[in-house]
Chain A
Amino acid sequence: AQSVTQLGSHVSVSEGALVLLRCNYSSSVPPYLFWYVQYPNQGLQLLLKYTTGATLVKGINGFEAEFKKSETSFHLTKPSAHMSDAAEYFCAVSPSGGGADGLTFGKGTHLIIQP
């Protein structure tokens, strides 16, 4: 069984400040990990994913995440927040690369950007 815990249902940062969204997972098999973003009234868009190889993964819009097996974490970061980053962010886990299995999502973190 797999599960995802996202710490903090709401995170507020100032424009230009560091963004850190936390994600911890539980998996009985080597996990494949994902971050998706959802803008209001839209579907989910993939930000980045970890499958194998380098544990620091770079995604779109300046986001990156680091897979830490010892900490069972996959936290999402961005050095400098922009107003357009305001959205809902979901961490997800899959037993495979994501194409051939359903995703198990965390509850989501609402990112608020203060001007």
Chain B
Amino acid sequence: DAGVIQSPRHEVTEMGQEVTLRCKPISGHDYLFWYRQTMMRGLELLIYFNNNVPIDDSGMPEDRFSAKMPNASFSTLKIQPSEPRDSAVYFCASSFSAGLQETQYFGPGTRLLVL
């Protein structure tokens, strides 16, 4: 399996621009998670989906952030408008929740820099 795929790997944009991050989970997984990693706050859960339905978005920082999962093989995280404080590494992870032995598998991340 190719693992969790994220694109782009790097994104540089200017303040006020719209940014879209993409994620393809591992085939067959029914959970998808979005995390953000910054020096100040560490790794934080933003939102997660089960069977394409958002379950908990309490970690989404503000209305500028939105996430969708139109089908089982694709999710997007959008920031509009972007701000310099959004600069971070954004990780997508997926899992198959068949029981206690299941694990979240992380993608390589998207490194976002907002100027």
In the complex, how many residues of chain A place their beta carbon closer than 8 angstroms to a beta carbon of chain B? 25
Task: Assess whether B42 is in contact with A106, with CB atoms less than 8 Å apart.
Answer: yes
Chain B residues proximal to chain A, CB less than 8 Å: 4, 31, 33, 35, 42-45, 48, 50, 56, 59, 91, 93, 95-109
Which of A20-28, A66-74, A76-84, A94-102 is the contact stretch? A94-102
The residue that B102 contacts in the complex, of A42, A98, A104, with Cβ under 8 A, is A98
Enumerate 25 A-B pairs (CB-CB under 8 Å) in ascending A order: A41-B108, A43-B106, A43-B107, A44-B93, A45-B106, A46-B103, A46-B105, A97-B97, A97-B101, A98-B102, A99-B31, A99-B97, A99-B103, A100-B31, A100-B50, A100-B97, A101-B48, A102-B45, A102-B56, A102-B59, A103-B45, A103-B104, A106-B42, A108-B42, A108-B43
| A55 CB-CB contact with B under 8 Å | no
**36-60 of chain A: CB within 8 A of chain B:** 36, 41-46, 49, 51-52
Chain A residues proximal to chain B, CB less than 8 Å: 32, 36, 41-46, 49, 51-52, 90, 96-108
Task: Assess whether A105 is in contact with B100, with CB atoms less than 8 Å apart.
Answer: no
Q: Known contacts being A98-B102, A98-B103, A104-B45, is A44 close to B96, with CB within 8 Å? A: no
Residues in A with CB closer than 8 Å to B35 are 103
The residue that A99 contacts in the complex, of B4, B102, B107, with Cβ under 8 A, is B102
